[in-house]
Amino acid sequence: MKNFLVKTIANAAALAVAVWLLDKITLTGGGTGEKALALIVVALVFGLVNLLVKPIVQVLTFPLFILTLGLFTLVVNALMLLLTSWLADKLDLSFHVDGFWTAVLGGLIISVVSWALNAFLPDKD
Protein backbone atom coordinates (compact mmCIF):
# COMPACT_ATOMS: atom_id res chain seq x y z
CA MET A 1 0.00 0.00 0.00
CA LYS A 2 2.87 2.34 0.80
CA ASN A 3 4.42 1.65 -2.61
CA PHE A 4 1.14 2.51 -4.34
CA LEU A 5 0.91 5.78 -2.42
CA VAL A 6 4.51 6.70 -3.23
CA LYS A 7 4.02 5.95 -6.95
CA THR A 8 0.81 8.00 -7.03
CA ILE A 9 2.50 10.98 -5.38
CA ALA A 10 5.43 10.65 -7.83
CA ASN A 11 2.97 10.63 -10.76
CA ALA A 12 1.18 13.68 -9.33
CA ALA A 13 4.51 15.51 -9.00
CA ALA A 14 5.47 14.58 -12.57
CA LEU A 15 2.10 15.82 -13.83
CA ALA A 16 2.60 19.05 -11.85
CA VAL A 17 5.97 19.61 -13.54
CA ALA A 18 4.37 19.09 -16.96
CA VAL A 19 1.59 21.55 -16.09
CA TRP A 20 4.20 24.05 -14.89
CA LEU A 21 6.44 23.73 -17.97
CA LEU A 22 3.86 23.53 -20.76
CA ASP A 23 1.22 26.19 -21.35
CA LYS A 24 -1.08 23.83 -23.23
CA ILE A 25 -1.36 21.37 -20.35
CA THR A 26 -3.68 23.09 -17.93
CA LEU A 27 -4.94 22.49 -14.43
CA THR A 28 -7.63 24.98 -13.57
CA GLY A 29 -9.52 25.31 -10.36
CA GLY A 30 -9.76 27.16 -7.12
CA GLY A 31 -7.03 27.27 -4.53
CA THR A 32 -3.86 25.29 -4.11
CA GLY A 33 -5.60 22.57 -2.10
CA GLU A 34 -8.16 21.95 -4.84
CA LYS A 35 -5.44 21.82 -7.48
CA ALA A 36 -3.39 19.37 -5.38
CA LEU A 37 -6.42 17.12 -4.90
CA ALA A 38 -7.20 17.30 -8.62
CA LEU A 39 -3.57 16.38 -9.42
CA ILE A 40 -3.74 13.35 -7.14
CA VAL A 41 -7.00 12.17 -8.74
CA VAL A 42 -5.56 12.75 -12.22
CA ALA A 43 -2.44 10.81 -11.16
CA LEU A 44 -4.69 7.91 -10.10
CA VAL A 45 -6.49 8.02 -13.46
CA PHE A 46 -3.14 8.22 -15.28
CA GLY A 47 -1.87 5.24 -13.28
CA LEU A 48 -4.96 3.20 -14.13
CA VAL A 49 -4.68 4.09 -17.81
CA ASN A 50 -1.02 3.02 -17.78
CA LEU A 51 -1.88 -0.17 -15.91
CA LEU A 52 -4.87 -1.27 -17.98
CA VAL A 53 -4.66 0.26 -21.45
CA LYS A 54 -0.96 0.80 -22.14
CA PRO A 55 0.05 -2.90 -22.17
CA ILE A 56 -2.71 -3.69 -24.68
CA VAL A 57 -1.63 -0.83 -26.95
CA GLN A 58 2.02 -1.91 -26.67
CA VAL A 59 1.20 -5.47 -27.69
CA LEU A 60 -0.91 -4.31 -30.63
CA THR A 61 1.76 -1.91 -31.85
CA PHE A 62 4.78 -4.13 -31.18
CA PRO A 63 5.90 -4.14 -34.84
CA LEU A 64 6.06 -0.32 -34.73
CA PHE A 65 8.22 -0.49 -31.60
CA ILE A 66 10.63 -2.77 -33.45
CA LEU A 67 10.54 -0.71 -36.65
CA THR A 68 11.22 2.59 -34.84
CA LEU A 69 13.71 1.09 -32.37
CA GLY A 70 11.50 2.04 -29.44
CA LEU A 71 10.76 5.63 -30.44
CA PHE A 72 7.10 4.73 -30.86
CA THR A 73 7.01 4.69 -27.05
CA LEU A 74 6.73 8.49 -27.21
CA VAL A 75 3.57 8.18 -29.28
CA VAL A 76 2.06 5.60 -26.92
CA ASN A 77 2.86 7.79 -23.90
CA ALA A 78 1.25 10.75 -25.65
CA LEU A 79 -1.87 8.71 -26.38
CA MET A 80 -2.07 7.64 -22.72
CA LEU A 81 -1.81 11.28 -21.64
CA LEU A 82 -4.53 12.29 -24.11
CA LEU A 83 -6.73 9.45 -22.86
CA THR A 84 -6.15 10.64 -19.30
CA SER A 85 -7.14 14.17 -20.34
CA TRP A 86 -10.32 12.85 -21.96
CA LEU A 87 -11.19 10.78 -18.88
CA ALA A 88 -10.47 13.77 -16.62
CA ASP A 89 -12.94 15.79 -18.70
CA LYS A 90 -15.57 13.06 -18.33
CA LEU A 91 -14.94 12.93 -14.57
CA ASP A 92 -15.23 16.74 -14.38
CA LEU A 93 -11.64 17.22 -13.31
CA SER A 94 -9.83 20.40 -14.25
CA PHE A 95 -6.98 18.78 -16.22
CA HIS A 96 -6.64 19.25 -19.98
CA VAL A 97 -4.01 18.52 -22.63
CA ASP A 98 -4.39 20.59 -25.78
CA GLY A 99 -3.07 18.74 -28.83
CA PHE A 100 -1.02 15.73 -29.81
CA TRP A 101 2.41 17.38 -29.89
CA THR A 102 1.83 18.89 -26.48
CA ALA A 103 0.97 15.40 -25.27
CA VAL A 104 4.19 14.02 -26.79
CA LEU A 105 6.29 16.62 -24.99
CA GLY A 106 4.22 16.25 -21.82
CA GLY A 107 4.59 12.47 -21.90
CA LEU A 108 8.35 12.87 -22.25
CA ILE A 109 8.50 15.28 -19.31
CA ILE A 110 6.30 13.05 -17.16
CA SER A 111 8.40 9.98 -17.99
CA VAL A 112 11.69 11.70 -17.11
CA VAL A 113 10.42 13.28 -13.88
CA SER A 114 8.66 10.06 -12.82
CA TRP A 115 11.80 8.04 -13.48
CA ALA A 116 13.93 10.48 -11.49
CA LEU A 117 11.53 10.56 -8.54
CA ASN A 118 11.11 6.78 -8.46
CA ALA A 119 14.88 6.38 -8.45
CA PHE A 120 15.10 8.26 -5.15
CA LEU A 121 11.85 7.24 -3.45
CA PRO A 122 11.49 4.06 -1.38
CA ASP A 123 10.60 0.98 -3.41
CA LYS A 124 9.34 -1.49 -0.81
CA ASP A 125 5.87 -1.97 0.67
Residue 87: its pLDDT value, please?
96
Residue 124's pLDDT band (cuts 50, 70, 90): low
Per-residue pLDDT tens over the stretch 68-99: 999 999 999 999 999 999 999 999 989 999 99
Per-residue pLDDT tens over the stretch 3-29: 788 888 899 999 999 999 999 999 987
Q: How far apart are CA 115 and CA 94, in angstroms?
A: 25
Please state the rounded mean pLDDT for residues 54-63: 94
- pTM for the whole structure: 0.90
Q: How far apart are CA 43 and CA 84, in angstroms?
A: 9
Under 8 Å between Cβ of 125 and 1: yes
